[in-house]
Amino acid sequence: MSWWEWFLWFSFVSIYITALFTVALLTFKKGRIVLGVLGIFMPLLWLIGAVLPAKEGSRYLLDQEIRTQRQIEEYSR
């Protein structure tokens, strides 16, 4: 393999791993399990899952509510 092929391979693997730890985790936190699993084979689905609104009762919504309550408590002091 030439240096160009090594460079492209390394670049694509780096982008995939970065997407796995950022966009994929956000997709799973929003409760989009099917999109998260299918995104392993088609990473574009991870982006779709990360952009869609969170499902009711998902970990993402719970974290957001906790963060909002802390801000309200901080500002009301």
What is the full DSSP assignment across 17-75? HHHHHTHHHHHHHTT-HHHHHHTTT-THHHHHHHHSPPPTT-HHHHHHHHHHHHHHHHH
- CA 24 to chain CA centroid, nearest Å: 4
From first to last of its 77 residues, what are the pLDDT tens digits of the chain? 798 999 999 999 999 899 888 999 999 999 999 999 999 899 899 999 999 999 999 999 999 999 999 999 999 98
pLDDT attached to residue 9: 94
pLDDT attached to residue 51: 93
If one counts the domains in the chain, the total is: 1
Q: Which two tokens stand for residue 57?
A: 């009762």
What single letter denotes the amino acid at residue 62? Answer: L
pLDDT attached to residue 43: 86
Q: State the Cα–Cα distance between residues 62 and 59, nearest whole angstrom.
A: 5
The parent domain of residue 16 ranges over: 3-75
